């Protein structure tokens, strides 16, 4: 059990901050007349400000993930959670955050916007993490560590037993970004938040939950950490429309689970198909809804697929990703088309023999 006091990590100005108190914060009950928020009184479905605490949505999330309401923070996508964590804990130009490389690009961008250095620990060439190297990278000014599992763009998972050891020994906030957890076999770290006051498990409705356009990201943590994020978030960070639509997706959870299963089985089929091409020299293990592959010439294949109307992500140029493409698993028809085009490409090149 980690005894760390996160109040020692929070920026002084955030500690002292008196948060904005909205009209909806100051009066929460029901009433006949609301003339407290300078809204247009004529009802059109969206003339009122949204619930700043997103209680109805959090009730759904709480039931879905089996986490009490007070341990849930909802952000405008996980991207907002990343930004708020950096702003709550890092003094610009002084503190730093630590992450690994390659990983999700927004840690770098958000840190940069906030004038906070991101110290990057290179993953090994097979994209596994050297935890000793991660520990060595931490300085007295490290306030946040970002760990992504399954990792984007490599698709592999971190061994959670080692992650737990790491969290125990570090005097910083640890964010585990589990955007792709529903495609993984390993269980979420959510169950560990009670043991670690410095742990935030971040998830999103953008991936398996099929709602990227709604911009709903979640942070799961102990209450003191959630309170800090609530204190500094914009009062109305999730629109009423997004809250209402997000609530609806929980009615279709069975359908989403079926889709997730289908995506996972298509991922395995795609992997099998890709083994047929000898120019695909590596297919990295994936616990996500994408596969990273290494080919003979990523730029050339990328351009070919683009010209055929199939857009994959060219990761050539990222650490250990020479000639790598990241392919999101599509519908069976989309995956068939990709395979068809790859056959065409490699046959036209007259390289492959079946």
Ligand X SMILES: Cc1ncc(COP(=O)(O)O)c(C=O)c1O
* Part of the chain binding ligand X (CB under 6 A), chosen from 72-80, 235-243, 293-301, 330-338: 72-80
Judged by beta carbon, residue 104 or residue 345, the one nearer ligand X is: 104
**67 lies in the binding site for ligand X (CB under 6 A):** no
Nearer to ligand X by Cβ, of 193 and 342: the residue is 193
- Exposure string over 1-17, b if 16+ CB within 10 A, otherwise e: ebebebeebbbeeeeee
What's the rounded Cα separation, in Å, for the pair 26 and 21? 7
96 binds ligand X (CB under 6 A): no
**170 Cβ contact list (under 8 Å, min separation 6):** 135, 138, 145, 198
Q: What is the DSSP string of 138-151?
A: --TTEEEEEEESSP
Tell me which of 9, 54, 60, 77 binds ligand X, using CB under 6 A.
Answer: 77
Which of 104, 183, 220, 277 forms a contact with ligand X (CB under 6 A)? Answer: 104
Q: What is the DSSP letter of 287?
A: S
Tokens of 338: 């990709």
Least separation, in Å, of the C-beta of 1 and ligand X? 28
Backbone angles phi, psi at 148, to 5 degrees: -115, 125
Could you count the other beta carbons within 10 Å of the beta carbon of residue 83? 21
**110 is a site residue for ligand X (CB under 6 A):** no
If you search the block for the tokens 């585990």, which residue do you land on?
A: 176
Binders of ligand X in range 283-312 (CB under 6 A)? none
Q: Coil, strand or helix: which one is 268? A: helix
Which helix (H) or strand (E) covers residue 99, if one does? strand 96-101
Using the rule CB under 6 A, give the single segment among 39-47, 74-82, 118-126, 272-280 that binds ligand X: 74-82
Give the nearer residue to ligand X in terms of CB position, either 10 or 148. 148
99 counts as binding ligand X under rule CB under 6 A: no
Instruction: Decide if residue 321 touches ligand X (CB under 6 A).
Output: no
Kindly tell me which residue out of 51, 59, 79, 296 binds ligand X, with binding defined by CB under 6 A. 79
The minimum distance between CB 290 and ligand X, in angstroms, equals: 9
Binding site for ligand X (CB under 6 A): 77-79, 104, 148, 152, 177, 179, 204, 206, 212, 217
């Amino acid at each position: 059990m980690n005894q760390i006091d996160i109040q020692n990590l929070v920026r002084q100005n955030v500690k002292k901050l008196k948060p904005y108190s909205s009209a909806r914060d100051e009066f929460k009950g029901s009433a006949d007349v609301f003339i407290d928020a300078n809204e247009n009184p004529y009802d059109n479905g969206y003339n009122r400000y949204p619930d700043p605490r997103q209680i109805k949505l959090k009730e759904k999330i709480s039931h879905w993930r089996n986490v009490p309401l007070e341990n849930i923070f909802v952000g405008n996508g996980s991207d907002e959670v990343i930004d708020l964590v950096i702003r709550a804990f890092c003094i610009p130009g002084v503190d730093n955050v630590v992450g690994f490389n390659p990983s999700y690009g927004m840690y770098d961008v958000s840190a940069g916007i906030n004038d906070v250095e991101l110290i990057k620990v290179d993953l090994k060439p097979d994209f596994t993490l050297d935890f000793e190297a991660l520990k060595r990278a931490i300085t007295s000014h490290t306030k946040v560590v970002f760990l992504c599992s399954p990792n984007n763009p490599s698709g592999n998972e971190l061994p959670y037993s080692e992650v737990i050891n790491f969290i125990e020994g570090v005097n910083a906030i640890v964010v585990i970004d589990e955007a792709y957890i529903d495609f993984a076999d390993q269980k979420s770290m959510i169950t560990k938040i009670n043991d670690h006051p410095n742990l935030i498990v971040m998830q999103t409705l953008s991936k398996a939950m099929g709602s990227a356009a709604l911009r709903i990201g979640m942070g799961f943590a102990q209450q003191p950490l959630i309170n800090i994020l609530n204190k500094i978030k914009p009062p109305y960070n999730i629109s009423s429309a997004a809250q209402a639509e997000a609530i609806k997706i929980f009615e279709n959870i069975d359908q989403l689970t079926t889709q997730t299963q289908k995506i996972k089985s298509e991922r395995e089929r795609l992997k099998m198909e890709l083994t047929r091409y000898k120019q695909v020299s590596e297919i990295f293990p994936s616990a996500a809804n994408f596969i990273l592959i290494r080919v003979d010439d990523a730029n050339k294949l990328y351009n070919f697929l683009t010209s055929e109307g199939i857009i994959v992500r060219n990761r050539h140029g990222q650490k250990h990703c020479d000639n790598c493409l990241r392919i999101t698993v599509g519908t069976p028809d989309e995956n068939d088309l990709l395979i068809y085009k790859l056959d065409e490409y490699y046959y036209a090149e007259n390289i492959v023999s079946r």
